[in-house]
Amino acid sequence: MDVVVTGAAGQLGSALVAAARERGIEARGLRRADLDVTSPHAVAGLDLGPRTVLINCAAHTAVDAAESAPQAAGALNALAPGLLARRCAATGARLVQVSTDYVFGTAPVPPRPWEPGDPTGPASVYGRTKLDGERAALAEDPRTVVVRTAWVYTGRRPAPGGAGGANGANGAGGVGWAPDFVGTMGRLAGQGVDPKVVDDQTGSPTYAPDLAAGLLDLAELLGVDPTRPGGVLHAAGGGAASWFDVARGVFERVGADPGRVSPCTTAEFPRPAPRPAYSVLSSRAWVDAGLRPLPDWRDALDRALGAPRGTDR
């Protein structure tokens, strides 16, 4: 099996390439300089074959910036998946298109985890363009597997020379923290900042290496059985949490007082792009497809921050 990862320089793409290497899977990581996924000519020349699984991680993920740059977001999130799916259909390769919880709108009443077949209703440019990308990919190649995920983070980056730890290279100076929510909270904890964090948005925190492992499991299934049908699946961390819950969990795991984190409402922290108030994703269809559910978000946060198991329980 040949795995191709677009967006290989990004958070998920780099985790995928690393995870494939650990499994002994041949993975071609393509960065923006290697392939312009928005160029029909460039994508038409992409070397794929019937044993290839292409995992598309290339995306415009700057949610707020997308509100003022809809064309740029649309090129990466909507146009590119269709082009890649067309190339896969022409070569017999299989496309795995990574998508997002932002495709959903108002939560079911009473709230329950979103299933792949639930009605969509994105409220942001980011969400609309990602949904357009899902539809374009499936229209070009119905064998495409769309995988929606949510609240992806890395937390720490490997420190120079392999050093690390909450009080070491990744501590108060902020060295080693990834520029995501978990990394930001870890950095603030080390800098003595007491943040206010929204407590009225609930979702599925997802550790990038866990998602990468799940996507490779899916790629291996597609490699073993190329006749598996396409469609939409959800893959996200188990359980549910608010951003406030996650922030407190980070503070506790790096040895800071979680009481330093204060709750606030979304209205108190306005952003250009509206956020889904409820975007917990169900793993039922993922498991029914024969795939292992991603670990619970608390366990993942333990591993992301090197904390002892059982913290925050």
> Mind listing the domains of the chain with CATH numbers?
2-153+206-238+279-296 (3.40.50.720), 160-199+240-275 (3.90.25)
Active site residues: 126
Query: 74 φ, ψ to 5°?
Result: -65, -35
Predicted model pTM: 0.93
Mean pLDDT of 209-223: 97
Could you give the CA distance from residue 249 to residue 251 in angstroms, rounded to a whole number? 6
Per cent of the chain over pLDDT 70 is 92
Helices 11-23 and 208-224, interaxial angle, to 10°? Answer: 60
pLDDT band of 158, cuts 50, 70, 90: low
Residues 106-156: tens digit of each pLDDT: 888 888 999 999 999 999 999 999 999 999 999 999 999 999 999 999 998
- Tell me how far apart the terminal alpha carbons of the chain are, to the nearest angstrom: 41
CA distances (Å), origin 179, targets 149, 165, 210, 245: 19, 17, 18, 19
Residues 274-297: tens digit of each pLDDT: 999 999 999 999 999 999 999 999
